[in-house]
């Protein structure tokens, strides 16, 4: 029972911290198509279209997914809070779709200190516009809500990630890009 009480308290605090502020309109102009042979999902609402214009002022443009899309579940239950799978390997150009299964809010965040300086801007751009800060997606609340991140133009290496509201509960993982 203590775990559930703690989980509820963390959720309430997170909801309070995320409440208010200006809400941006949803970007409905881009659709990413799931090309992996292991999934029956055919579309995602992530912004991964190659028709996205390059940002002005030398900013880095989002690189579209050119490979498979790996699905990772975001779970909270009696066993704890976790990503399933938490640690996995993808190829450069692949995408990762994080899907809320239970006990939101969840998000996906990368610690800027762990990301190579020459890759940070591209990874941040590849997260799309549905973000709450640098290298951090917005919170997703409901089962089925998803975040898709492109790993196109991301150099090989390890990319640790975590869920901001559940980091203290060890909800984290590592993506290895080949």
pLDDT one digit per residue (tens) for the chain, 178 residues: 444 444 545 454 555 454 444 444 444 334 444 444 333 333 333 443 344 444 555 689 999 999 999 999 999 999 999 999 999 999 999 999 999 999 999 999 999 999 999 999 999 999 999 999 999 999 999 999 999 999 999 999 999 999 999 999 999 999 999 9
Q: Where are the beta strands (DSSP E) in the chain?
A: 32-33, 43-44, 69-77, 80-84, 87-90, 95-100, 131-133, 136-137, 146-150, 157-162, 172-177
Query: Measuring CA to CA, how many Å separate 38 from each of 34, 42, 48, 70, 145?
Result: 10, 11, 20, 9, 20
Q: Which two tokens stand for residue 116?
A: 């190579």
CB atoms within 10 A of CB 7: 17
Q: What is the pLDDT of residue 45?
A: 37
Element (H, E) at 120: helix 117-126
Q: What is the pLDDT of residue 59?
A: 83
Element (H, E) at 12: helix 2-18
CB atoms within 10 A of CB 111: 14
For the entire predicted model, the pTM comes to 0.70
Q: Report the distance separating Cα 74 and Cα 101, nearest Å.
A: 6
Domain ranges of the chain: 29-49+61-177
Q: Report the distance separating Cα 169 and Cα 93, nearest Å.
A: 31
Q: What is the pLDDT of residue 29?
A: 39
- For domain 29-49+61-177, is the CATH number 2.60.40.2250? no
Residue reference for tokens 């150009």: 93
Q: Which two tokens stand for residue 20?
A: 């208010």
């Amino acid at each position: 029972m203590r775990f559930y009480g703690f989980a509820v308290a963390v959720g309430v605090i997170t909801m309070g911290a995320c409440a208010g502020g200006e809400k941006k309109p949803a970007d409905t102009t881009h659709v990413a198509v799931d090309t992996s042979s292991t999934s029956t999902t055919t579309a995602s609402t992530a912004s991964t279209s190659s028709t996205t214009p390059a940002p002005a002022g030398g900013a880095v443009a989002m690189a579209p997914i050119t490979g498979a899309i790996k699905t990772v579940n975001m779970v909270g239950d009696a066993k704890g809070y976790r990503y399933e799978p938490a640690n996995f390997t993808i190829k450069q150009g692949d995408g990762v779709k994080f899907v809320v299964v239970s006990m939101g809010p969840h998000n996906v965040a990368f610690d800027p200190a762990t990301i190579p300086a020459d890759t940070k801007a591209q990874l941040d751009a590849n997260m799309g516009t549905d973000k709450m800060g640098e290298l951090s997606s917005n919170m997703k609340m409901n089962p089925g809500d998803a975040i898709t991140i492109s790993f196109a133009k991301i150099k090989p290496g390890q990319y640790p990630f975590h869920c901001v509201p559940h980091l203290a509960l060890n909800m984290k993982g590592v993506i290895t890009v080949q």
